[in-house]
Every structure is written in structure tokens, then in C-alpha cells.
């Protein structure tokens, strides 16, 4: 009997109808293909953080932050759209895998163009971005043909995405004076496509799966931050000078990243999605992670700058160097607070604790040992959170 079913299994591996998955499907977990997709995209995250470090270290703070924000949008938006589509239409056959390969190639092309983007030339980034987005259009067209219940929504996605990609290409011909304005307009256009499409007939994304996908990417970005800081400390120690300061800084950085991990995962992400169960909740939660992912990546660049400062390899002042860490940490805490905790959370210590600690961390920028104080404050917030929620944690 096993031999008789083998040809059918082989056919299903080569080609399967793309049907909407069950929103309440039990044990819905990330696939190996999704994990590979994440790892390839984090290459682009690392490149963006590296260029932010260089720009900030050279004193080009405004330009560096703006370039980082623009490049990071391309990375984040490509990852986000793949993840939500895969949560609703994960058809693991050969055409689906090939389309995903093209999206990965687009993401790696974006990574290859990060250096040029920080110099003001976005041609390679746009080429990679358009490639990965048009591969997503192919997936939506396939869903439109094979999933009747979401046909109108899928066609809207396909048409909307295609129009915006044409505009991204056209933007390359605009004068530099219109660069930022046109970027903001097209970002708003990109963000509007899912909002308008999902109002027609929502796709069957899975709350637990989406929360896991976001959590995994948060882990990868934090891991990239640890790697960047470790390499910077390693280079500093190679000189044989400032060893004590660098070891102390490495310990503070480790405590800081560990605290960020703890605070993000302390509250289950899917709980907010399930409780809200609305388009507004899912969009605000999903879009809001731009700040979480971006700030977590920026912390790595900031820690590298702190290493440069302690080893006297930068001309930046202490406050400017400290702000490269404290600002993204504060943004991270406030974003986690808004998306996972909520200002109206009945547990007042953590509802109040997150914004208070964020303000104290920003103030630490102007005092002695700002990185160590930031790490200590983040650790204190962890202690407060654990104490305040003891015995009240929701089952995972």
C-alpha cells in the first residue's frame, strides 16, 4: 500500500493547489524554508547596522539615521509581506519554493546595495526590492487563481503591489530634492495596500504562527547585535589596551541585550493579536514592529560606537556616543510597551515601568557610564516585570 501512494506523494511535493490555511490550525509552526528566509534577510540587517555605525562614527548622524531608516524599510517590508503571506498560504511545493528563492535573491540584492544607498545611490536597493516584491505578486496571482474565497483580495494585492513597484522604479529618475518626499509617499502607498486589501476579505493568517515569526526575527536581529558588539570588542582587545574598559562594556552589552530579549518575550505576542482580533490590531501590531526590529539592530551599531569610544578610535563625544545606544533602547522599550503591554494594562508596575525606564535611559546619556547605567536600568525593569507578573503569566 505504501508503494501505491508514493506517486501521489511525489506529485504533491511538485505541485499543490494554493489554498487558504485554517486560521485555527493547531501546532502551526515556522517551516525550515521560513527560517532560511529569515537568515538570508538578516544579512541585509547586518549591512544596514554596519553602515549606520560608520556614518554615526564619522559625525554624519542625521544622514546615517535617515539612510538606515530608509534601507531598513526595504528589508523589513519585504520580510513582513513574505511572513504574512506564508501564514495564510504556505503551499510547500516546488513553484512556491522557487518563488521564495527569488524573494531571497531580492533580499540579498538589497543587502548588496546598502553601501551605495548610504552614499545616496539607491539603484541596487530598488532593483533587489522590486525583484522580491514582484516575486510576491506571482504568489498572490497564484492564490487568486486557486483560492476562490480570497480571490478578490489576492488580485487587489497583486495589482496594488505592481503599481507601487513601477513607482519605485520611476522614483529613481526624480531629482534629489524630491528624494525624501517621494520616499515617504511611496512608503504610505506600500502600507496602504494591505490595509485596503484586507478590508475586502481578510486572509487566514494564524495568530500563533505570526507571533512566532516575529519573535524569531527579533531573536535573529538581537543575535546580529551581539555579533556586531563582540567583533568590535575583539578588535579593541587585539590592541592590548583598554582591556578593563572593554571587558566591562562587553558585560554591560550582554546584560542589555539579554534584558531586551526578556522584556520582549515576557508577554506572549499572540495574546494581543487574539484579544484584538481586528484589522486595526493586526496592522498596528505588525507595522509597529518596524520600530522594534530597527531599534534592536541600531543597538548593535551603538555598542560598536561605544567600543570605538572606549578604545579612542572615534572623535565623537561621550554624549553623542551614548545616544547611539540609549535612543534605540528607549525606542525598543516604548515599542514593546505599546505593542505587548499597553498603557492601560491592569498590571500598573509594568504599565508605568516601561515608559519611566525609557525616560531614565535617555537621561543616562548625559551622565557617567551611560551604557552601564542603561544595562542596569533594563535589568531593573526585568526584575520589576517578573515580580509584578509572578503567578499571573498566561499559558503559552
Collect all residues with Cβ–Cβ distance below 8 Å to 253 and sequence separation of at least 6: 226, 229, 303, 306, 371, 375
Q: Is 149 helix (H, G, I), strand (E, B) or coil?
A: helix
Measure CA 276 to chain center: 22
Rounded to 10 degrees, the C-alpha dihedral 373/371/217/76 comes to 120
All residues at 6 or more sequence positions from 300 whose CB lies less than 8 Å from its CB, including other chains: 49, 53, 224, 225, 226, 227, 228, 229
pLDDT in tens, 210-264: 999 999 999 999 998 888 888 777 877 776 676 788 888 889 999 999 999 999 9
Q: Determine the Cα–Cα distance for residues 6 and 248; give it in Å rounded to an integer.
A: 60
pLDDT digits (tens, 9 = 90+) for 60-89: 999 999 999 999 999 999 999 999 999 998
* pLDDT value of position 201: 76
Q: Spell out, as residue ranges, where the chain has pLDDT lower than 50.
A: 1-6, 394-396
pLDDT digits (tens, 9 = 90+) for 96-128: 999 999 999 999 999 999 999 999 999 999 999
**CB distance 396 to 268 below 8 Å:** yes
Q: Residue 78 — φ and ψ, nearest 5°?
A: -65, -45
CA dihedral 380, 381, 385, 386 (to 10 degrees): -30
Helix axes 32-57, 94-112, angle to 10 degrees: 10
**Which of 145, 166, 157, 167 has its CA nearest to residue 194?**
157
In terms of Cβ atoms closer than 10 Å to its own Cβ (0-12, 13-18, 19+), residue 258 is: middle
Residue 1: predicted pLDDT: 39
What is residue 389's DSSP assignment? Answer: T
Contact 309, 301 (CB under 8 A): no
Q: Fill in the DSSP letter of residue 346.
A: S
Question: Which DSSP letter does residue 17 get?
Answer: -
Cell of 121: 545611490
Distance in angstroms (rounded) separating the CA atoms of residues 388 and 373: 22
Instruction: Evaluate if pTM is beyond 0.85.
Output: yes
DSSP assigned state of 28: -
Cβ neighbour number for residue 367 with a 10 Å cutoff = 11
CA 121, 125, 129, 130 torsion-angle sign: positive
pLDDT at 70: 97
Phi, psi (5° rounding) for residue 92?
-85, 65
Task: Count the alpha carbons within 13 Å of 384 in the hemisphere toward its beta carbon.
Answer: 16
Task: Please name each of the domains of the chain with its CATH number.
Answer: 30-200 (no CATH), 207-388 (1.20.1410)
CA-nearest of 42, 6, 41 to 227 is 42
Q: Give the contacts of 360 (CB within 8 A, at least 6 positions apart).
A: 377
Amino acid at each position: 500500500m505504501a508503494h501505491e501512494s508514493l506517486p501521489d506523494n511525489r506529485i504533491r511535493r511538485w505541485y499543490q493547489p494554493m489554498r487558504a490555511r485554517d486560521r485555527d490550525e493547531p501546532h502551526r509552526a515556522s517551516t525550515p524554508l521560513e527560517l532560511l528566509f529569515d537568515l538570508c534577510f538578516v544579512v541585509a540587517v547586518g549591512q544596514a547596522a554596519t553602515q549606520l555605525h560608520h556614518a554615526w562614527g564619522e559625525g554624519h548622524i542625521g544622514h546615517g539615521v535617515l539612510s538606515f531608516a530608509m534601507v531598513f524599510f526595504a528589508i523589513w517590508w519585504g520580510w513582513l509581506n513574505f511572513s504574512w503571506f506564508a501564514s495564510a498560504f504556505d503551499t510547500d511545493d516546488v513553484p512556491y519554493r522557487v518563488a521564495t528563492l527569488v524573494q531571497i535573491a531580492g533580499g540579498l540584492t538589497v543587502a548588496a546595495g546598502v553601501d551605495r544607498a548610504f552614499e545616496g545611490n539607491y539603484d541596487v536597493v530598488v532593483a533587489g526590492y522590486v525583484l522580491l516584491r514582484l516575486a510576491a505578486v506571482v504568489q498572490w496571482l497564484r492564490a487568486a487563481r486557486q483560492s476562490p474565497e480570497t480571490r478578490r483580495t489576492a488580485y487587489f494585492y497583486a495589482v496594488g503591489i505592481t503599481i507601487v513597484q513601477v513607482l519605485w522604479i520611476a522614483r529613481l529618475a526624480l531629482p534629489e530634492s524630491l528624494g525624501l518626499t517621494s520616499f515617504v509617499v511611496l512608503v504610505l502607498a506600500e502600507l496602504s495596500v494591505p490595509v485596503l486589501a484586507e478590508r475586502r476579505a481578510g486572509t487566514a493568517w494564524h495568530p500563533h504562527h505570526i507571533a512566532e515569526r516575529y519573535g524569531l526575527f527579533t531573536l535573529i536581529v538581537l543575535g546580529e547585535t551581539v555579533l556586531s558588539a563582540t567583533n568590535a570588542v575583539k578588535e579593541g582587545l587585539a590592541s592590548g589596551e583598554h582591556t578593563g574598559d572593554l571587558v566591562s562594556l562587553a558585560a554591560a552589552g550582554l546584560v542589555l541585550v539579554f534584558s531586551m530579549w526578556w522584556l520582549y518575550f515576557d508577554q506572549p505576542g499572540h495574546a494581543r493579536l487574539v484579544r484584538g482580533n481586528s484589522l486595526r490590531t493586526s496592522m498596528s501590531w505588525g507595522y509597529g514592529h518596524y520600530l522594534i526590529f530597527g531599534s534592536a539592530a541600531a543597538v548593535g551599531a551603538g555598542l560598536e560606537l561605544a567600543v570605538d569610544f572606549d578604545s579612542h578610535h572615534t572623535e565623537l563625544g561621550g554624549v553623542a556616543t551614548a545616544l547611539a545606544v540609549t535612543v534605540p533602547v528607549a525606542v525598543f522599550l516604548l515599542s514593546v510597551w505599546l505593542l505587548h503591554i499597553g498603557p492601560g494594562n491592569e498590571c500598573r508596575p509594568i504599565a508605568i515601568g516601561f515608559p519611566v525606564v525609557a525616560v531614565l535611559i535617555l537621561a543616562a546619556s548625559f551622565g557617567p557610564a551611560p551604557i552601564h547605567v542603561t544595562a542596569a536600568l533594563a535589568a531593573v525593569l526585568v526584575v520589576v516585570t517578573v515580580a509584578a507578573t509572578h503567578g499571573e503569566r498566561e499559558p503559552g
